[in-house]
Amino acid sequence: MRALEILEHPDDEARLIARAADGDPSARDALASRWTPRIYRFAWRLLGHDQDAQEVAQDVMVRILGSLDRYDPSRKFSTWVYAIARNACIDEQRRRIRRPSAPLVGERPDPAPSPVMRVFEARRADRVREALDALPAKYREVLVLYHFEHLKYVEIAEALDLPLGTVMNRIFRARRRMRDLLGEEDAP
């Protein structure tokens, strides 16, 4: 059922989650279709590597679908998903430390329409990626969740299990460091 992919109301998602938890294959497919790209983008932004992000997204989706019975519907589903994805990215970063790997290359999943714009956007993206990579993980993850995944401060605090003031402070400090690294024109 493709109609399940277009959720217009939060209750629609809650019903979809409940159906998926009950084992409805079309609801599980709809959740996977909706959330796998979001998880991939989040993982790619934290890890900076396409293949690792794909593996993390797939692993996280399997974890989510396998543990829907443990999801607390009184909390936002997105917060739960991003918390699982964050933990998976941390695990992947730990695995990288233990295994030798080729240098990471900043791949861009969404190319710009024209060659000139592609070059411009690639250079800008590389600068932003390098600046993000230069930030400590605690600053990088709050910026990614806020600016790229569009979570609210409260949702970030819940996903990272941090006080709201800490999240606000980290975003402020991370933006300031990004401005220092990039200059005003490219900073978030």
- pTM (2 decimals)? 0.58
| Dihedral (Cα; 76, 78, 84, 88), 10-degree rounding | -160
pLDDT digits (tens, 9 = 90+) for 102-132: 555 555 555 444 555 556 577 777 888 888 8
Q: Where are the domains of the chain?
A: 1-107, 111-188
Residue 4: the pLDDT is 42
Find tokens 């933990």 and name the residue.
Answer: 87
**Backbone phi and psi for residue 107, each to the nearest 5 degrees, phi listed first:** -85, 150
Q: Which residues of 136-159 are buried (b: 16+ CB within 10 A; e: fewer)?
A: eeebbbbbbbbbbbebeeebbbbb
Decide which of 3.40.50.300, 1.10.1740.10, 3.40.50.620, 1.20.1560.10 is the CATH code for 1-107.
Answer: 1.10.1740.10
pLDDT for res 139: 93
Q: How far apart are CA 9 and CA 124, in angstroms?
A: 36
**Cβ–Cβ under 8 Å, residues 141 and 93:** no
CATH number (2.80.10.50, 1.10.10.10, 1.10.10.60, 2.40.50.320) of 111-188 reads 1.10.10.10
Q: What is the pLDDT of residue 68?
A: 92
Q: What is the pLDDT of residue 164?
A: 93
DSSP 24: -
From first to last of its 188 residues, what are the pLDDT tens digits of the chain?
A: 444 444 455 568 889 999 999 989 999 999 988 999 999 999 998 888 888 889 999 999 999 999 998 998 888 999 999 999 999 999 998 887 776 555 555 555 554 445 555 565 777 778 888 888 899 999 999 999 998 889 999 999 999 999 999 999 999 999 999 988 887 554 45
Cβ–Cβ contacts within 10 Å for residue 171, how many? 19
Residues 80 and 33: their CA atoms lie apart, in Å, by 17
| Predicted pLDDT at 154 | 93
